[in-house]
Amino acid sequence: MTTPDINTRIQDLIAQNKVLVFMKGSKLMPQCGFSNNVVQILNMLGVTYETIDVLSDPEIRQGIKDYSNWPTIPQVYVNGEFLGGSDILIDLYQKGELQEKIEVAIAS
């Protein structure tokens, strides 16, 4: 059960970062293959992004799933919009749409 405090924390984190990844581990040390895929894609695009390690924060780990109504980690937010997880990011990247979304977000 997610508390209102967790939702507020999550909203604040998303609002404070143009590109934010809720993931297992950190961008320097991803702790799962899916999180690593997302980090590799964002690094290839050369964008500035922040990560939140859900393994070190069980409240956030469950809270973000409830918040986004998405059952898996990682979760990627760009300009406050939930894009999806690893598969969706790979798809957007391959179509060239991810870079566009991120450029628009950073410019806004």
Domain count, the chain: 1
Instruction: Write out pLDDT tens, residues 68-96.
Output: 999 999 999 999 999 999 999 999 999 99
Contact (Cβ atoms closer than 8 angstroms) between residue 96 and residue 43 = no
The residue range of the domain holding 64 is 4-107
Q: Is the pLDDT of residue 1 over 70?
A: no
Q: What is the CA 55 to chain-centroid distance, rounded?
A: 14
Kindly state the tokens that stand for 54. Answer: 């859900």
Across the chain, mean pLDDT equals 95
Nearest partner of 90 among 46, 23, 27, 39, judged by Cα: 39
For helices 97-107 and 33-45, angle between their N-to-C axes, nearest 10 degrees: 70
Residue 14's domain is classified under what CATH number? 3.40.30.10
Handedness of CA 71, 20, 46, 25 (dihedral sign): negative
Where does the pLDDT of residue 28 fall: very low under 50, low under 70, confident under 90, or very high at 90 and above?
Answer: very high
DSSP-derived 3-state class of residue 27: coil
